[in-house]
Every structure is written in C-alpha cells, then in structure tokens.
Amino acid sequence: MESSDPELAELRRFARERVHPEVARHELPVRQERLASLLTEMDDLGLTEPDGGLWADIPRGIALLSVIAEHDVSVALALHQRALARRMPGATDLVVVHGHYGLGREALADWLAEREPPEPLADVYDLASPRVVVAAALPRWVLAPVWDGQQLRLGRWAAKSTPLPNAHGLDALVTLALSLTGEPQDEAPTAEYLFALRVEALASVALALAAVGRGARMARQFAAERQQGGSAIEAHAAVRELLLAQLSVLAGVSAELALEAPRPTSPGSVVSALALAGSALSRLCEAANAALQVFGGLGYMRDTGMEKIVRDVNHLRHRLASPGELGAIAVRWEQIHG
C-alpha cells in the first residue's frame, strides 16, 4: 500500500522516526522548540507550500494530516494551521475563522445565504473583543473576519497575544487571547473565508478521527493482553460492547468524512462541513471515552496516553464552536432552503 504512494510512505516514515520519539512519553507535551523544529522539517517535505501543500487538495490533505495526527494531535493541528495560513493570500501566521465566542449561530447561516445583514454577527465578530485560539507560537499577523457594519470581511491584522492557561487538551500548543490591532493590511475574498471555514471543520474531524482510531487500537491491544478470571478481558461482554461502540463510530465518521471532503467549496458545503463537525466530534468524544473505559482506572493515568486522547478530542469538539451552535447553523440553513 505504501509503495504505491511514495508521498504517504515518506510521511509515515517521518512520523515514525521524527514525530513519534518526541511524543512517546504521553505525560510530557512536546517542547516548543522541538515542535518548531518538526514544523520546519515538514516545511521541507512540501506540506506547507502555498500552491502544492497540504490544502491544495482537501481529500489528499486529510489523508496526509491524519498520518501525523495518529501520533499526536497537537503536532498535526500545528501543521494544519501553518499550511492553511500559507495557502491564504498575504503573509500571515495564523487563520482565525471564529469570533470572540463561536461562529454566530443562526446569523452565520443567514449571512451565508445572503439574507439581510444579521445583526448578531456585529457582536460575535467585533474588532474590540479578543479571540481565544490555540497555536504553536505567538502570531504576528493573523487573517481574521471582522464585521464592518454591513458585511463580514476577512482581513490581515497585526495581532497582540495574551497567553492564557491551557484550557483542556492540546498540551503542546499555547492558548492565546488574540486582539486585532490597527487597520487591516489586506482583505481576502469571501471565497477564501468560506474555504478556510470549511477546511477548519473538516480538519477538526480528521484530527479527532485519527486520535480516536489510535485510542481504539490501544484499547483492543490492552483488552487482548489483560487477563481477568483466567481469560483476556476482550472475552467479557461489557468490554466487547465498548470495543464495538468505538469501531462503529470510527466506521461511520470515516465514511461521512470521505463523502464530504471532495465537495467543492460553496456556502452549502460549508454548512454541511460544520454540521458534520458538530455531529462527528460529539460521537468521537463518546468513542474516546469508551476506549478509556476499557483500561478501567489505568485509563486515567497520564502515562497510558488514553486520557490525553480524550482531552485532545474534547478540545477539538469546542475549538471553533459548540456542537449545539454548529447544529443551529445547519438547522437554520435548512429552514432557509428547505
């Protein structure tokens, strides 16, 4: 399989030889300088090229991103952010698609449908309020949407970063409150915002899917080796139920992501990607918890790696907006077009 795809084979080798040694100790996050070094090496692999990098083709990008995410979600998310920023017009360090809280619920669907200017977006995407992000480093320039009184516009802004305590997971990244300062240096077309919003949603699903897939493999191996009552615990009905729940979610989300990724970017496919993220990330969180439960009390120990997977997937679930908000956007879109 690898021999038929040299690029994937090379990336798998890189992940095994360069990424895995940095993340093998689950309880110890990758140090900032080591993360920066890994990202530079992935630059050299061509993954962050503006024209031919990770997001030149979305299905291909998801496949490549998943290879890194199978080893560590934080490293993969940092790669995704870097590749997306470099694909966008202008020199920017980070793309921020959300406002200072979420995406704007039903008002975003109204905007995507080109209805009357929805006032709630003026609050969510105002210039005065900071936006909370996780990133590999403090960005100097960010591409972010701001409501200008009549329209949501994606501009390149100088950023002032205030470090915050780590919220939950993604331990190798820094949590920041970003304030947009001065005047926008450039404005990107609305189509670029739609692309970024869609890719952020699909990347979140791909990252979580890879992480839970790794957790499920760890759970199956543990269940096959752990003995209780003279037999491996994989023979116990309760454990089989937990293992089956994980496999069912993984199969379903994988199929949905494979169908969603090739669609061309449009307002409708943006909403569809957001709806998938809202549904799939919730299911993947449940699957991650099922994998942890196979380990019993050991699953909560940081050196096993399972609780880290649970925290990372939980963090991804709320990184852009809550599942309820993503669902509200989809419902409003259906009301408009149904």
Q: What is the pLDDT of residue 111?
A: 95
| Structural domain includes residue 276 | yes
Distance CA 252, CA 256 (A): 6
| Structural domain includes residue 254 | yes
The upper half-sphere exposure of residue 294, i.e. CA atoms within 13 Å in the direction of its Cβ, equals: 35
pTM of the full predicted structure?
Answer: 0.96
Residues 266 and 289 in one domain: yes
**Which of 189, 208, 243 corresponds to the end of one domain?**
189
Partners of 155 in the β-ladder: 144, 187
| Structural domain includes residue 1 | no
Q: What is the DSSP string of 94-106?
A: EE--S-SSSS-TH
CA torsion through residues 183, 184, 190, 194, sign: negative
Say whether 231 sits in a helix, a strand or coil.
strand
Residues 233 and 295 in one domain: yes
Tally of CB atoms within 10 A around 317: 24
Distance CA 161, CA 138 (A): 6
Q: Specify the number of domains making up the chain.
A: 3
First-to-last CA distance in the chain?
A: 43
Least confident of 1-5, 74-78, 193-197: 1-5
Q: Which residue bears the tokens 């404005």? A: 187
Residues 206 and 179 in one domain: no
Distance CA 172, CA 311 (A): 12
| Structural domain includes residue 161 | yes
Q: What's the whole-number mean pLDDT along residues 201-229?
A: 96
The two three-digit tokens of residue 279, written as one number: 């549904």
Residues 176 and 120 in one domain: yes
Residues 111 and 83 in one domain: no
**Which of 87, 120, 139 corresponds to the end of one domain?**
87
Q: What is the pLDDT of residues 156-191, one digit of tens each?
A: 999 999 999 988 899 999 999 999 999 998 889 999
Q: What is the pLDDT of residue 1?
A: 42
Q: What's the whole-number mean pLDDT along residues 203-232?
A: 95
Residues 173 and 214 in one domain: no
Q: Are the C-beta atoms of 114 and 272 separated by less than 8 Å?
A: no
Q: What is the pLDDT of residues 100-132, one digit of tens each?
A: 989 999 999 999 999 876 778 999 999 999 999
| Structural domain includes residue 301 | yes
Residues 115 and 142 in one domain: yes
Mean confidence (pLDDT) of the chain = 95
Q: What is the pLDDT of residues 40-87, one digit of tens each?
A: 999 999 999 999 999 999 999 999 999 999 999 999 999 999 999 999
Residues 218 and 184 in one domain: no
**Which of 38, 53, 87 corresponds to the end of one domain?**
87
Residues 171 and 202 in one domain: no
Could you tell me the residue range of the domain that residue 274 belongs to? 192-337
Question: How far apart, in Å, are the Cα atoms of 250 and each of 34, 212, 244, 266?
Answer: 31, 8, 10, 27
- 231 conformational bin, left if phi > 0, alpha if psi -120 to 50, beta if neither: beta
Residues 180 and 206 in one domain: no
Distance CA 81, CA 144 (A): 13
Q: Is the model's pLDDT at 204 over the cut of 90?
A: yes
The two three-digit tokens of residue 217, written as one number: 């493999």
Distance CA 193, CA 156 (A): 12
Q: What is the pLDDT of residue 227?
A: 87
Q: Which ranges of 226-305 does DSSP label H, i.e. alpha helix?
A: 237-260, 267-294
Distance CA 185, CA 128 (A): 17
| Structural domain includes residue 27 | yes
Q: What letter represents residue 30's amino acid?
A: V
Q: What is the CATH number of the domain that holds 293?
A: 1.20.140.10
Distance CA 246, CA 216 (A): 6
| Structural domain includes residue 124 | yes
Residues 170 and 205 in one domain: no
Q: What is the pLDDT of residue 220?
A: 97
Q: Is the model's pLDDT at 3 over the cut of 60?
A: no
Residues 112 and 101 in one domain: yes
Tally of CB atoms within 10 A around 301: 13
CA torsion through residues 108, 110, 116, 120, sign: negative
